[in-house]
Every structure is written in structure tokens, then in C-alpha cells.
Amino acid sequence: MIINHNLGAMNAQRQMSTNQNNMSNSMEKLSSGLRINRAGDDAAGLAISEKMRGQIRGLEQADRNAQDGVSMIQTAEGALNETQDILQRMRELATQAANDTNTDTDRNEIQKEVNSLTSEINRIGNTTEFNTQKLLNGEKDGSEAIAAVAGEFTSTDDIGTEDVTIDGVNFTYVDSGATAADGEFSDAEGLAAAIDASDLGDKYTASHSTDKLVLTQEDGEESSTAPSGLDFETTTAGVEGKDAGSGNSAQFQIGANESQSLTLNIADMRASALGITSEGTGAELGVTDGTNNEVTEQALDLSTHEKASEAITKIQSAIDEVSGERSQLGANQNRLEHTINNLGTSAENLQSAESRIRDVDMAKEMMNMTKNNILSQASQSMLAQANQQPQSVLQLLQ
């Protein structure tokens, strides 16, 4: 028997310390509700959980961003609803003014209302804002320009090696491989080479497709009528170009990561952009640029039958343009609403996965704490017993 080293007591004390530490950890987890309270609890799990938390918070913010985007779109579309009502009234007035039962005095009174309505369309375009940002004055239109092509025509038959006449201009065939001069064309390797169309007054760009001749009208040519002399089929006709936007597109961040965004362009919806003004002294008609400055535009002239009739067509075009813009806004709103639903689902599922890593199972941890508590009490009892063992040495000294 030895008394300098009570190994039984030392072992009981070590076990008791371990049990108490385990019980303390269980109490911490039960108190916080988290399985991972520090990196040491699960280093890999902590890294994965933090990455997921970044995604979750990004998705939740993207959800709010998309809802703000819907609000912006609804603001713009609501203003355009009023603009369209105004245009419908202007069309009605133009139709009325086109009737020659009206006197000059009558048309003058109609003109006053059209002037006022034109000014109101400008006011709506200049002042409609969301969070101090202008929506309908072109500042949110970052669309790229679309090239104008009046028409493209392809000959229905191979042009072969015979002379051809296009719009009264004769083109002479020259030997294969020869360089075609003005008024000539040649074929190369069985393909009809591009004829020199300079004799057509640069009205077309000429090229070839197999043995067929393709003529594309240059920008600025208004007619989409097929050229004469050959039988042509119209590939495209009347394709109108669109000028580039004057501002920057609205970008909605609808994802948690870079480049997960939606681009929205809102066209200029003021009177001049809609084509319902003409040059003149705008101040006399109440047409301003939104800052009460005089501008060189005036409302459509309804002073005669012919002018009023032309105004009907222009106003109808404006109505169609506003309708198209409202349709585009509505489509983007629907897209954002689907995006909101998807973001909510994604955030929920990711939160569930993160919870399994980070959160504690309360029932399981309560079981662990109960076990550690019992073991701690048992180890305390055994430590007391181990401390009593050296007392038996005294019996040897009696």
C-alpha cells in the first residue's frame, strides 16, 4: 500500500473533470440553441455554415430588392396608364377637329385642350419619380440602337450568266473570275458574285446567296417594294430602326452573387419622344421641359381637316408605343414576382441545410447533459471513496 500517490483518487478526479466539462458544453449548447458556438466545436461545419449564411442573407436581400423593383415598375406603369388615358382623349379631340362641321373658333377651343393635355404628358414624363429617380424622361433607357433596314429581297431564280435588269439599270455578265466594273457582274465558282450597285444610286447593297441575287435596301430608304426586273421574294420589309437610349438601364440585383441581375429599360415617354409635338414656340402652348423653360416644340396642329387627320395617326402611334412600353413593364413585373417566389424558396431550403449544421438537437443534447450530470455525480462519489482508502494504512500502525 502507498500513500504518496493516490492513483484511484487521481483517476476519479480526472474523470469527474471530464464529465463536468462535457456537462458545461451541453449546458452552453442548450442555452444558445447552437451546436457550434466556437470554431473548436466543428471547424469544417463552421466554415460551411458561414458560407451558407452569406448566401441566405444575400437571397433575402435580393428578395427585398426584387420587391423594390416591382414597386418601381408599378410607379412607372401607373403613370403611363394616365398618359394613355390622356392620349385616348387627344385622339378623340383630333377626330372631332377633323370634322368640317367645326368652325375655326371651334377648332381653336379643341386646340386649347390638346395643348394642355400635351403639356400634362410632358409633366408626367418629367416628374414621375421613384426614390428621387426620374423614370419616364429617358434616364432609365440604356437600350442599344437598332439598325434600320428598309427591306431585303432575294431573287426567286438563279441569275445565271445572262444579263439582268434591275429597276431599269442593265447589268452585263462578264467571264467567271473577272472583276466586275460598274454595270457588270460575274460569277465565281458557280456563285453569283455581288454586282456593283452604284448605278442604282447606292439604293441597295448587293450580295449573293448560292446563285441568287440578294439586294438589301440601305438605311434611310423608306420603300419596301421589291425592285423590278427580276422576280424577288421579300425576306424582310419595313424593319424600322430604333435610336439608342439616352440614359442608363435600371439594374435590379436579384441574386446573392455577382452578375445575378435583371436589366430594365424604360423609354422616354414625353410628348416629343412619342411624336405628338412639332417644332414651334412651346411656351405659347404650355409645353415645357419640366423646369418651366421654353422649348422649341408645340402640340399637334388641329386647325384643318388634313392636319387633324394626320394628328389622329400620330396619336394612335403614340398610344401603341405607350401600350408596348406598358406591356414590357408588365412582363418584367411578372418576371420579378416569379423571381421573388424562387428567392423565398431557395432561402428557405438553404436555411434548412444550414440549420442542420449549426443548430443543436435539443432532445439529444438534453440526454447528453443528463448522462454527464449523472457521471459527474458518480465520479464525485468515487473520488470520496478513493480519498478514504489511504485511511486503511493507519490500521497497520496500531
pLDDT digits (tens, 9 = 90+) for 120-130: 999 999 999 99
Could you tell me if 291 and 198 lie in one domain? no
In-domain check, residue 329: yes
**What is the residue range of 211's domain?**
149-239
Domain annotation covers residue 176: yes
The DSSP bridge partners found for residue 206 are: 215
Which cell numbers in the block locate residue 314? 400620330
Predicted local confidence at residue 190, as pLDDT: 41
25 domain-assigned = no
Which of 394, 373, 382, 391 lies closest to 9 in space, CA to CA?
A: 382
Position 281 scores a pLDDT of 45
Contact 64, 256 (CB under 8 A): no
d(CA 94, CA 308): 5
Sign of CA dihedral 284, 290, 293, 298: negative
Which residues lie below 8 Å from residue 212, measured CB to CB, with a gap of 6+? 154, 155, 156, 157, 158, 159, 192
Domain final residue pick, 239, 257, 274: 239
Task: Spell out where the chain has E strands.
Answer: 129-130, 133-134, 149-155, 164-166, 169-173, 184-185, 187-188, 191-192, 204-209, 212-217, 232-239, 250-253, 261-264, 277-278, 298-299
Do 190 and 133 share a structural domain?
no
Can you give the length of the chain in residues? 398
Which residues have C-beta within 8 Å of that of residue 77, sequence separation ≥ 6?
Answer: 326, 329, 330, 333
Same domain? For 225 and 292 the reply is no
Answer yes or no: do 257 and 343 share one domain. yes
Residue 121 shares a structural domain with residue 269: yes
Q: Are residues 266 and 176 in the same domain?
A: no
Q: pLDDT value at position 283?
A: 43
Read off the C-alpha cell for 172.
Answer: 452585263
**DSSP secondary structure of 46-63:** HHHHHHHHHHHHHHHHHH
11 located within any domain: no
* End-of-domain residue from the set 308, 330, 347: 347
| CA-wise closest residue to 205 among 162, 145, 149 | 149
104 part of a folded domain: yes
Block mean pLDDT (10 aa), the chain, length 398: 78 87 87 88 92 95 96 96 97 96 94 94 95 94 71 75 76 68 58 56 67 68 65 63 80 93 94 83 49 66 93 95 95 96 95 92 89 88 83 75
Domain CATH code at residue 323 = 1.20.1330.10
Residue 313 included in any domain = yes
Collapse the DSSP code of 337 into the 3-class scheme (helix H, G, I; strand E, B; otherwise coil) and give the result: helix
Give yes or no for a contact between 243 and 166, defined as CB atoms under 8 angstroms apart. no
- The answer to whether residues 133 and 273 belong to one domain is yes
Determine the pLDDT at residue 280: 52
Helix and strand numbers (H, E) in the chain are 6, 15
The three grid cell numbers given for residue 263, joined into one nine-digit string: 436589366
Model pLDDT, residue 376: 87
Residue 46 lies in a domain: no
Q: Which residues pair with 237 in a beta bridge?
A: 151
Q: Is 178 left (phi over 0), alpha (psi -120 to 50) or beta?
A: beta
pLDDT at 64: 96
> Do residues 210 and 227 both lie within one domain?
yes
pTM of the model: 0.68
- Together in a domain, 296 and 258: yes
Same domain as 181, residue 167: yes
pLDDT of residue 109: 94
How many distinct structural domains can be found in the chain? 2
Claim to verify: residue 235 and residue 176 sit in the same structural domain: yes
Residue 364 lies in a domain: no
Domain co-membership, 133 together with 196: no
pLDDT at 20: 86
Grid coordinates given for 373: 450530470
C-alpha cell at 386: 478513493
Which of 347, 364, 382 is the C-terminal boundary of a domain?
347
